[in-house]
Amino acid sequence: MADETPDPASGELIPRDPSLADFVTVEIDGVSIPFAGAELLYRMKIRAGREKDRGDIHFLKQVFAAQGKQPPDMR
């Protein structure tokens, strides 16, 4: 089933966490490391409301525009 994934330790099928869809996984030296994707990063920075995040928010809006996308909704 697409909503389940095998547990690496037991092999049992476990429900897939939908919030993980917002992560990008990069392999470095054979280790898979999850990073927040652009949409999740945008939502986190908007919700934080910090002055120091304004530049990142502006940059992420430019990334979305270059991809022909709108910034994500604030779900």
11: left (phi over 0), alpha (psi -120 to 50) or beta: left
Residue 32, pLDDT > 70, answer yes
Q: Which residues pair with 33 in a beta bridge?
A: 26
pLDDT digits (tens, 9 = 90+) for 45-57: 999 999 999 999 9
> Contact at 8 Å (CB) between 66 and 58?
no
Is it the case that residue 1 has pLDDT exceeding 90?
Answer: no
Give residue limits of the domains in the chain: 4-66
What would the mean pLDDT of 18-34 be, rounded to a whole number? 82
Rounded to an integer, the average pLDDT of 20-35 is 86
Q: What is the pTM of this model?
A: 0.67
